[in-house]
Amino acid sequence: MMPVSRSFQLKILTGSLLLSLLVYAQAIQLPFFSDDFQVMLRLSKNNFDTGIFLRPLGDLTLYLQYQVAGFNPLSYHVVNILLHGCSGFLVVLLSFGFSDYYGIKQSRMVIGMMGGLLFICYPMHAETVIWVIGRGILLSTLFVLLSLLMFVRWSALGKLHLQILSLLAFAIALLGYETAGVLPLVIFILSIHRDRRIIAAFRVTWPYVAVMLGYILLRYAVLPEGDGGSYFRTGNGIGFYLYNYAALVSRGFIPPSANAVYFVASLLSVLLLLGLLMWGLMKRNIPFFRQACLYILLMVVALLPLVTVGISTTDHEGGRFLYQSAVFTCLFVTVLLTGNFFRTRFFLPSVAVIFSLSVVLLLNVSGQWKLAGDAVTRAMDSLPVFDGPVSLDGAPDKIGSAYFFRNGLREACIIYGKGDWAGPGVGNAVSEPPRPVQRYLYNNGVFVKDSPDPFDRKAR
């Protein structure tokens, strides 16, 4: 492998962290959203029960952070943003490793740097970084990248400790999010793509399969529903899964739109452009063409665990599901641009267009979360401290593409110091209290009392 000096790695890491803080600056001051309130209140009570999910990694880091920061959301957002920057740094190193793994030295530095920068600015998975409980996916992807990096280095150097570190990182990644489970297949594809030997590919893959089987056994041992229950919608027709898969792949390249015609037209235009660029690579640069095909395949494989869940094509909801696959999406785009245009007058303009579009879309998404965050603060400030049972109704699930009170309204009231009880409404139904209920309706950004206070003597 071509070594990368530690001083240069430190510069890349510093640049990645600073860029991540810059492009996500709007997110730093945001409050918690929706499920954040539920998770943070649960962890504050030392409750690690995640129901049908085995995702302790994110919860553990949030719990440890809570011991220092309490319910102040600023530090949680900063940590998420810095973790995202670290993943961007690892994308750069992994790209260098892939280039060495396949013996491709041409434009190695350009592809790696562009891939990492694009991953940091990639707008389609912004939800993962902005939403505090995206922590599990952030950490899972970080450890998947570490596992892949250790695997590539082990393949080059043959040192046993590198393989052990790779397997350990994979095991940790599985405890962050289920999408890490595709890593054995990714390892198998990487081996086949390089050596064309199936037996050798099986030989390097089986330890990862063993780790995966151990994880599956652990799920069934500790969870009430080891298969994930209703969250992973199994038993549907093939059309359901094909549509979900098409939506996931499409959202990797184009932003969502409420206008279905516009979305389809945009998708067809992008597919045509990608097809032309792939044809250009095939004609002039076969090593780059093979590398681009590899990244397409890895992107498609990375999305496999999500076909039962799907993703919205009308707004940015579900962007967290694209976080892991975005590693290969961004590397694919950089290989296309570099292979077709490097050392031509079109290279810098094409790079400028891609990065400008990415940053503009990212700022648009984070701007929607900023509006939703302001709305959360305003809505909570409009409520008094409860002196009896309360019903809060009418709050929307989302504002734009950002979560509002899809869940967690009751927990938000507790965290904001309004009281321990918020009754039926917005998915937070509890048993009917014995005392009269004060009812508040969400209207024009604030909660307004719907009827006279039954505990107010003057009202009587």
Both tokens assigned to 219: 């799920």
| Cβ contacts of 8 within 8 Å, gap of 6 or more | none
Local confidence pLDDT in tens for the 460 residues of the chain: 566 788 999 999 999 999 999 999 999 999 999 999 999 999 999 998 887 888 999 999 999 999 999 999 999 999 999 999 999 999 999 999 888 777 777 788 899 999 999 999 999 999 999 999 999 999 999 999 999 999 999 988 889 999 999 999 999 999 999 999 999 999 999 999 887 788 888 999 999 999 999 999 998 888 876 555 555 656 678 888 899 999 999 999 999 998 999 999 999 999 999 999 999 999 888 888 989 999 999 999 999 989 988 898 988 888 999 999 999 999 999 999 998 998 889 999 999 999 999 999 999 999 999 999 999 999 999 999 988 788 888 888 888 888 888 889 989 999 999 887 544 443 344 444 456 778 889 998 999 988 655 445 444 3
**Residues written for the chain:** 460
Give me the pLDDT at residue 380, please. 93
Both tokens assigned to 42: 């649960």
Give me the pLDDT at residue 232, please. 60
Both tokens assigned to 33: 């959203």
Give me the pLDDT at residue 423, please. 47
Give me the pLDDT at residue 228, please. 55
CB atoms within 10 A of CB 441: 16
Give me the pLDDT at residue 457, please. 45
Both tokens assigned to 276: 């032309």
d(CA 238, CA 232): 15
* Conformation bin of residue 229: beta by default, left when phi > 0, alpha when psi is -120 to 50: left
Sign of torsion, CA 405 411 416 421? Answer: positive
Indicate the Cα dihedral angle 272, 274, 280, 285, nearest 10°. -160
Give me the pLDDT at residue 434, please. 56
d(CA 399, CA 406): 10
d(CA 119, CA 144): 15
Q: What DSSP designation does 306 have?
A: G
pTM: 0.91
Cβ atoms of 75 and 68 closer than 8 Å: yes
d(CA 142, CA 90): 8
Give me the pLDDT at residue 97, please. 86
Q: Where are the domains of the chain?
A: 6-368, 384-449
Cα distance between the two ends of the chain: 82
Strand 390-393 and strand 438-443: the pairing is parallel
